[in-house]
Amino acid sequence: MKITFDENVKHEILDLFDKSVDEEEYIVEKSNPKQRVLTFDGQEIKIDEFGGIKSGSEVFIKKDLVSLMKLSKICGKKLGHE
């Protein structure tokens, strides 16, 4: 399973969260381009890996199945499902 966005949409979404992409294609803070954003498990994330942002936070999610499964598990625990 892969989630995909049109490249323009990815940049628009990042712009809404005051993020941009550096010269190495990593997602960074607009106000501090040397600060790369991290996934919920602490990994830096490139624009081509970007799958979304968890609701109510700025937790960035990669678009691969493993990342989505980890997110599902985290969200389930918060809702009392294990």
Count up the domains in the chain and report the number. Answer: 1
Of 56, 46, 54, 50, whose CA–CA distance to 70 is shortest? 54
pLDDT confidence of residue 43: 92
65-81 pLDDT, tens digit each = 787 777 777 666 554 44
Domain presence at residue 38: yes
Domain that holds residue 62: 7-78
- Is the full-model pTM beyond 0.75? no
2 belongs to a structural domain: no
Instruction: Tell me the DSSP string of 4-64.
Output: ---HHHHHHHHHHTTEEE-TTSBEEETTEEEEE-BBTTS-B-BGGGEEEE-TTS--EEESS
Longest dimension (CA), the chain: 41
Domain membership of residue 1 (yes or no) is no
Task: Give the Cα separation of 52 and 42 in Å (integer).
Answer: 15
User: Could you tell me if residue 29 is inside a domain?
Assistant: yes
